[in-house]
Amino acid sequence: MDFVIKKKVLCEYHGPGGAVEVPKGVTEIGEFAFYHCDSLQSVVIPEGVTKIGKSAFRWCSGLQRVTIPKSLITIEERTFEGCTSLQRLTIPKGVKQIGNHVFENCFALREIRVDSNNHCFHSLEGVLYNGTTLFRCPHKKGESIAIEDGTTEIASYAFAYCIDLQNATIPESVKKIGEDAFLGCANLQSVTIPKGVTEIGEYAFFDCTGLQSVAISERVTGIGRKAFSGCASLQSVTILASISEIEGVFYDPRPILIAPNMLVSSFSEEDKPGACAGFAKLYSEHVPLSEDIRAGYLEYIRSQRKSLYTKAMEYPPLLQLMVAEKVITREDFAEIFPKIIQKGNAERTAMLLEYRHRNLGPVDWEQEFKLEEF
């Protein structure tokens, strides 16, 4: 027997797959009913079915077409997760509830349509919305998307693993970016967080390996753990907000953090070198800063100068700040100057020589640096 049906619930399917029609009289597709049925290619669900249970079609990798009845009300979590051949799906007018992760890992999905008479969900250019929440963007939507004006939230996993996505225009109306919202969007290159956003969830941009720059608006009050971790190409982050503490947000790599409204004490010890580099950029551009912020950074740079020299040799504005504020001591100079020479940067070498001449007095090069070794 292909179907196991108990009290009008289709509990299990043991058939050969291919094109399947669920028997009439069934009112519910049970949890895991077709789980991992790789041979399933299409399924017609009859009128009268009101619910599709959790993971009902999960990892049906060959499933290409699903016909959903007008009677359907609920689609539970992970229903179509891993249906890697599914390209399009239409949500009928009666659906009021769609669970989390329903379309996760549907890598061929190009379009989610919604009946125009549905009062809970709607679709714009194939992207699924639940009221003012962007619920799910299909994996194969394309390289760019303009999120609908009036959207207030980007749901958890809304763009997860949309690997073709390069640019997302987020409207000013958005207030929250949910957990894992852009998880694994490997080709996403830049993001501007608009002024309306107040919250960025955990792992929101985790593993966006192509992301190079981020600008965070002044109204953001919290950034979740590892929100920008694993962003291997991330070079700089501009934070206009005044956030009391940022801990565990950035990891592998540690970008330059340009935060004109944040104290250096707001950053974790691991992020402070990047924050100091960002302060150095603001310093070099003569950006007005509060006295507390300016004094705090300069005090930290002086007290932690030895641990910051590596960053300074990589990032010229920080080295220039150390020169301008006369942070480098004679002992430190003897340590870092040979490393600058080894890097072969003529401009920085000349800058340090001028600093040495003006602030540290004459030097016996052969004795102090043992130049015969170079």
Same fold, 1-105 and 148-253: yes
Q: Which of 232, 262, 261, 233 is nearest to 247 (CA)?
A: 262
> Between 136 and 334, whose confidence is greater?
136
Question: How does pLDDT run across 126-146, given as a tens digit for each residue?
Answer: 999 999 999 999 999 999 999
Domain ranges of the chain: 1-105, 148-253, 266-325, 328-374
Residue with tokens 């007005």: 288
Using CA atoms, how far apart are residues 164 and 146, in angstroms rounded to an integer? 15
CATH superfamily, domain 148-253, is: Ribonuclease Inhibitor (3.80.10.10)
Q: What is residue 372's predicted lDDT score, i.e. its pLDDT?
A: 43
Using CA atoms, how far apart are residues 186 and 201, in angstroms rounded to an integer? 18
Whether residue 374 has pLDDT greater than 80: no
Using CA atoms, how far apart are residues 320 and 280, in angstroms rounded to an integer? 8
Q: What is residue 69's predicted lDDT score, i.e. its pLDDT?
A: 98
Q: Which of 230, 144, 125 is nearest to 180 (CA)?
A: 230
Whether residue 339 has pLDDT greater than 70: yes
Q: Which residues contact 33 (CB under 8 A, 6 or more apart)?
A: 10, 11, 12, 13, 53, 56, 57
Whether residue 367 has pLDDT greater than 80: no
Q: pTM for this one?
A: 0.88
Identity at 107, one-letter amino acid code:
F
Q: Is 258 helix (H, G, I), strand (E, B) or coil?
A: strand
Q: What is residue 325's predicted lDDT score, i.e. its pLDDT?
A: 97
1-105 CATH, one of 3.40.830.10, 3.40.50.1820, 3.80.10.10, 3.40.50.2020: 3.80.10.10
Helix, strand, coil share (%) of the chain residues, nearest 5: 25, 20, 55
Q: What is residue 364's predicted lDDT score, i.e. its pLDDT?
A: 57
Q: What is residue 371's predicted lDDT score, i.e. its pLDDT?
A: 46
The bridge status of strand 213-216 relative to strand 222-223 is unpaired
Q: What is residue 369's predicted lDDT score, i.e. its pLDDT?
A: 52
